[in-house]
């Protein structure tokens, strides 16, 4: 397993980060334990969760993800060996059951961190992330930004001041952003420098062969400012494996279980997926492994967040860390990208 430094910190994180958003709903605790055990055996030292998880988000299951991670850390006695990341939920009707008047303000963040620490059974969180912005902007596939300053929510400076309190109290080591724009990242960095507040060290955004929009503006910001990209959905909800081509819906697969997750199934996305699958097969590669290895190969990616419905998928996904792609294959991938640029932003 390869390890990278997280942003400008001294934390060494594995190139593969185990995403856990289905623990507690699609995965039982026993299944989750099996996945985390195997991942750690393969050198994975980075776990990513959220107070909102598991998904699909619901009042019935909310928080079970962190509870399962906490139970595993306690059972294995390995908290000091793992880098644990979780997230505080942003505002929105879909999560209004978590707390009243959701926002990234002092009351909400304080309540969130208290409950996350309790569920995770730990005294501190290595990477505490803001799940999405507290303002009207583009995320979760939204396009065509509409300026609505009246919906700006909690001022970024106020959020940073609260995060400083958590760092000072030893509850959080570092903080990161998620589903954020280039402007948002720069504003957090600017205010942190001006007011001597914590600098964001990572950004967790969607990034895959079907969605390379981060390369338009974000990746320059990240590299110049020493902020790690932590891609999520690197397989586009599993679409890049090819298993959903030609209308297939394999039993037990994520989109089969949750058909509303159709973000990566538009016509152009399917055409691009077919091209990438054909390319992988021409090289004798598993399409999913090739897609993950391409993400792993980006200089600005320090940890690739993978998830798996079963152990076979998990083993293949983690194995992608050892695949080195030659220039010919990388050029062929670029040719497909030029033909089908960002079909699923």
Q: How far apart are CA 283 and CA 298, in angstroms?
A: 20
- CB-CB contact of 191 with 157 (8 Å): yes
**For residue 54, cis peptide bond before it (omega within 30 degrees of 0):** yes
Classify residue 82 as exposed, middle or buried by CB count within 10 Å of its CB (0-12, 13-18, 19+).
buried
Tell me the pairing of strands 3-5 and 12-14.
antiparallel
The Cα-based distances of 184 to 51, 136, 189, 194 in angstroms read: 22, 11, 9, 15
Marked catalytic residue, from 53, 128, 188, 232: 53
Classify residue 110 as exposed, middle or buried by CB count within 10 Å of its CB (0-12, 13-18, 19+).
middle
Q: How far apart are CA 99 and CA 145, in angstroms?
A: 28
Active site residue 264: no
**CA neighbor of 237 nearest in space, from 257, 262, 214, 218:** 262
Active-site positions? 53
């Amino acid at each position: 397993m390869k390890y990278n430094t997280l942003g400008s910190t001294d934390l060494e994180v594995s190139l593969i980060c185990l995403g856990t958003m289905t623990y507690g709903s699609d995965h039982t605790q026993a299944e989750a334990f099996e996945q985390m055990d195997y991942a750690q055996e393969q050198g994975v030292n980075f776990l990513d969760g959220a107070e909102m998880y598991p998904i699909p988000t619901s009042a019935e299951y909310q928080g079970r993800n962190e509870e399962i991670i906490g139970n595993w850390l306690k059972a294995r006695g390995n908290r000091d060996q793992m880098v644990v990341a979780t997230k505080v939920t942003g505002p929105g009707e879909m999560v209004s059951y978590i707390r009243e008047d959701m926002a990234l303000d002092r009351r909400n963040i304080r309540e969130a961190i208290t409950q996350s620490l309790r569920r995770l059974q730990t005294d501190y969180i290595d990477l505490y992330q803001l799940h999405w912005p507290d303002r009207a902007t583009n995320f979760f596939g939204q396009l065509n930004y509409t300026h609505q300053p009246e919906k700006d929510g909690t001022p970024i400076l106020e959020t940073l001041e609260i995060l400083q309190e958590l760092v000072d109290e030893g509850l959080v080591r570092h903080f990161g952003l998620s589903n954020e724009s280039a402007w948002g990242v720069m504003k957090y960095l600017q205010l942190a420098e001006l007011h001597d507040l914590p600098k964001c060290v990572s950004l967790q955004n969607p990034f895959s062969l079907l969605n390379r929009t981060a390369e338009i503006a974000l990746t320059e910001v990240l590299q110049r400012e020493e902020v790690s990209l932590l891609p999520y959905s690197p397989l586009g909800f599993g679409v890049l494996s090819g298993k959903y081509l030609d209308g297939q819906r394999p039993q037990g697969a994520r989109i089969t279980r949750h058909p509303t997750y159709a973000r990566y199934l538009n016509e152009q996305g399917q055409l691009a997926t077919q091209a990438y699958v054909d390319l992988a097969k021409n090289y004798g590669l598993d399409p999913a492994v090739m897609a993950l290895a391409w993400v792993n190969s980006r200089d600005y990616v320090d940890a690739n967040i993978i998830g798996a419905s079963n152990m076979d998928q998990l083993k293949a996904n983690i194995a992608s860390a050892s695949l080195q792609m030659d220039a010919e294959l990388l050029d062929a991938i670029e040719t497909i990208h030029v033909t089908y640029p960002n079909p699923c932003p």
